Amino acid sequence: MNTVIWIISGIAGVSVLALTFRMFFREEGDFGDAVGHVFTPDIFSALNGEYWEDRWNTFKMFLWLALGAGAFFAARTGLLKLFGPEG
């Protein structure tokens, strides 16, 4: 039963990510820009004049991922409370 709870929780998390994707990344290149800014050090963004764009894209990416993780853990916690842990 524990494996089923993990799978259902994963489906819940991925579903939230899929449903909120367009809310965070409206235009075609927004997601790629956000990923690029997450892995670009802030000093390089500042030197390129993209510091605040970097901060905004990094915030959007982490908020989007936090929503998916929150849905995963909420589903897992709820299912464990309903069905209880095994073992």
Domain range summary for the chain, segments of one domain joined by + = 2-83
- Do residues 13 and 64 make contact, with C-beta atoms less than 8 angstroms apart? no
Report pLDDT for 9: 98
Note the pLDDT of residue 30: 95
Express each pLDDT in 13-71 by its tens digit.
999 999 999 999 999 999 999 999 999 999 999 999 999 999 999 999 999 999 999 99
What's the pLDDT at 87? 46
pLDDT value for 53: 96
pLDDT band at 84 (very low <50, low <70, confident <90, very high): confident
- Under 8 Å between Cβ of 71 and 8: no
| pLDDT score, position 57 | 96
**CA dihedral for 70, 71, 74, 80, sign (positive or negative):** negative
pLDDT of residue 86: 67
What is the C-alpha to C-alpha distance for residues 10 and 14, in angstroms, rounded to an integer?
6
CA 36 to chain CA mean position, Å: 15
pLDDT in the model for residue 17: 98
Q: How far apart are CA 6 and CA 78, in angstroms?
A: 12
CA 25 to chain centre: 12
Neighbours of 13 (CB within 10 A): 21
